[in-house]
Structures are given as structure tokens and as C-alpha cells.
């Protein structure tokens, strides 16, 4: 059941966290509960078929167009176009879990996608070869983890956009259930 967001519900919400933390799933639940349009960064902005990354200028233009709307839930933001989304964001939901939580989720998710041959975005599928490549999502987790956690800290310290920071999945789930109950 989709409901309309109440007047006091932030209308432009960004989910942000380390790779594998569950941002897309949480954003999907939040969007469903509030009736706000969902923006999938990978599907709508970042990736084309055959794992071709969209040109950064095109990504920035798409992000700017989507962020210009009055109502949305972004499931993440890429560093190359964060400046198009963050100034319009009314709430950041930060998933700041310990590495073992996000990494174990990522490994499990990747393995299941490979086994089930699931479509990830724009017709792309993860494969064993892709999962162990130098530019794999698993390698990306290690490369990006410290930077993404530092960005969460900066967002909190800057005091501009309100940030709801969750350090445990069960706390996020409890909050999402409260949003769904409304």
C-alpha cells in the first residue's frame, strides 16, 4: 500500500552509507511507506547495459534533473554528482555500520546474485569473474569504506542537512517500521 507523505515528512531524502549496507533496500521501503518517488542511482544515473559506466557529465546532468524535483528518495549519491543532490536534500539517512556487517551482507548478496543470475541494473548481471575482478563491488567496498564513513561524519559535523545515523541494522529496521506504521 502506498501512502502520501505527510506535510511534516521530509520530501527529499537521501540514503547514504558504505557499499553493502542496505541503502537501496532501505530507500525502497521508505519510498513505499511515504509514497515519495524512488531514485535508483545505479539504474537511473550510473550504469548502462554491459556494465558501461555512464559518462560523468551525463551522470551529473541526470542527477541534477532528478534532484530538481520537489519529492524524491535517492538510494545513494555518487561523489561525482553529490553536489547536485546534497544542497536539495532535506534529510540524510546514514547507514554507518561496522565493516563486518556491510561486508558480510555484500558477500552474501553478490554470491546470491551470481548463483541466481539476477539482473542487477539495466540488464547487467554479476558473475564470478566480475565478483573477483580488480574493479569488483567487493574491491570497491574496501576502497570506498573509509571515505564514505568520513563523509557521514562530515555531514553530521557540518550541521547543514539533518542526518539520522544508524549504526545497527535493527535500529534502522525499527525506524522504518515506525515510518511504515504511519
Decide if pLDDT at 4 tops 80. no
State residue 3's pLDDT score: 47
Looking at the predicted structure, is the pLDDT value of residue 36 above 90? Answer: yes
Q: CA-CA distance, 67 to 89, in Å (whole number)? A: 8
The verdict on residue 4 lying in a domain is no
Return the H-helix or E-strand segment holding 13: strand 12-17
pLDDT surpassing 90 at residue 37: yes
- Cell numbers standing for residue 93: 539517512
Q: How many domains does the chain have?
A: 1
3-class DSSP string for the chain: CCCCCCCCCCCEEEEEECCCCCHHHHHHHHHHHHCCCEECHHHHHHEEHHHEECCHHHHHHHHHHHHCCCCEEECCCCHHHHHHHHHHCCEEEEECCCHHHHHHHHHHHHHHHHHHCCECCCCCECCHHHHHCCCCHHHHHHHHHHHHHHHHHHHHHHCCCCEEEECCHHHHHHHHHHHHHC
In a domain, 173, yes or no: yes
Which residues make beta-bridge pairs with 87? none
| Cα–Cα dist 6/123, whole Å | 35
- pLDDT tens track for 119-177: 999 999 999 999 989 989 999 999 999 999 999 999 999 989 999 999 999 999 999 99
142 occurs within a structural domain: yes
Per-residue pLDDT at 2: 41
Looking up residue 141, the CATH number of its domain turns out to be: 3.40.50.300
Q: Is residue 2 part of a domain?
A: no
Q: What is the pLDDT of residues 19-32, one digit of tens each?
A: 999 999 999 999 99
**Whole-number pLDDT of residue 1:** 36
Residue 1, in any domain of the structure: no
Residue 133 lies in a domain: yes
**pLDDT for position 180:** 94
For the cut 80, the answer to whether the pLDDT of residue 35 exceeds it is yes
95-119: pLDDT as tens digits: 999 999 999 999 999 999 999 999 9
Give residue 153's domain range. 12-181
**Is 34's pLDDT higher than 70?**
yes
Residue 7's pLDDT is 57
Is 122 within a domain? yes
Look at residue 5 and tell me if it is in a domain.
no
Q: pLDDT by residue (tens digit) across 57-88?
A: 999 999 999 999 999 999 999 999 999 999 99
Quick check: helix, strand or coil at residue 40?
Answer: coil
Amino acid at each position: 500500500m502506498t501512502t502520501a507523505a505527510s506535510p511534516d515528512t521530509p520530501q527529499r531524502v537521501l540514503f547514504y552509507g558504505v557499499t553493502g549496507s542496505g541503502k537501496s533496500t532501505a530507500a525502497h521501503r521508505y519510498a513505499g511507506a511515504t509514497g515519495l518517488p524512488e531514485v535508483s542511482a545505479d539504474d537511473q544515473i550510473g550504469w548502462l547495459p554491459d556494465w558501461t559506466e555512464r559518462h560523468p557529465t551525463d551522470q551529473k546532468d541526470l542527477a541534477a534533473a532528478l534532484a530538481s524535483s520537489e519529492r524524491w528518495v535517492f538510494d545513494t549519491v555518487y561523489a561525482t554528482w553529490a553536489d547536485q543532490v546534497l544542497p536539495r536534500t532535506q534529510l540524510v539517512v546514514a547507514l554507518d555500520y561496522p565493516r563486518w556487517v556491510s561486508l558480510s551482507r555484500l558477500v552474501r548478496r553478490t554470491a546470491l546474485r551470481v548463483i541466481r543470475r539476477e539482473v542487477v541494473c539495466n540488464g547487467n548481471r554479476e558473475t564470478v569473474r566480475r565478483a573477483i575482478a580488480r574493479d569488483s563491488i567487493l574491491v570497491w567496498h574496501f576502497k570506498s569504506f573509509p571515505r564514505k564513513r568520513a563523509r557521514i561524519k562530515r555531514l553530521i559535523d557540518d550541521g547543514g542537512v539533518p542526518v539520522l545515523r544508524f549504526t545497527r541494522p535493527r535500529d534502522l529496521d525499527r525506524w522504518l517500521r515506525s515510518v511504515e506504521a504511519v
